[in-house]
Amino acid sequence: MDFIKIRFGNDFLHEKSRFEKNIEEMFQSMSPIFTLSEGPWKPLMDIYEAPDEIVILAEIAGVSKEDLELEINTKAVRISGVRTCMPRMENSRFRLAEIQHGPFERVLFLPSPVDTERVSASYSNGFLEIKLAKLKFDKTRTIPIQGE
């Protein structure tokens, strides 16, 4: 059986500055010509919540499972990896270049705390699906009052 690497921790908030991201996004939106062939990209993701779990669906076609890394703590998920460029034909040039490749990283803050012991991840048809069980906080406890 193959496994997707999952690492638990709190230290994955070391992203680029907001200024760097805004400049990069501005040039990429004007034309793919401004996109470096090997540069960071941002895969599309969905997060949906059920009563007992949170599900994250990431569209990462062309990324091999061995090039994926997943880090989880009770408040956030970090998904990172690398998509390599497909080989081109000899003596060819791009007329349109929209498929992004290179490293990617997404940090997603979760709508409610999750149990890091109850996580599953699967990868099929270019989609990474992560299921996270919510922490249960509905336990009530009677506390005795001390004193007179």
Please provide residue 38's backbone torsions phi and psi, each rounded to the nearest 5 degrees: -115, 95
Average pLDDT score over residue span 121-148: 87
SS3 content of the chain, % helix, strand, coil (to 5): 15, 40, 50
Q: Where are the domains of the chain?
A: 6-85+99-134
pLDDT tens for residues 40-49?
A: 889 999 999 9
Between these two residues, 136 and 129, which has the higher pLDDT value? 129
Counting residues of the chain whose pLDDT is more than 70, the rounded percentage is 72
Residue 35 pLDDT > 50: no
| 102's tokens | 């290179």
- How far apart (Å, rounded) are the C-alpha atoms in residues 28 and 35? 5
Residue 38 pLDDT > 60: no
- CATH for 6-85+99-134 is 2.60.40.790
pLDDT tens for residues 5-14?
A: 666 665 555 5
SS3 sequence, 41-94? Answer: ECCCEEEEECCCEEEEEEECCCCCHHHEEEEECCCEEEEEEEECCCCCCCCCCC
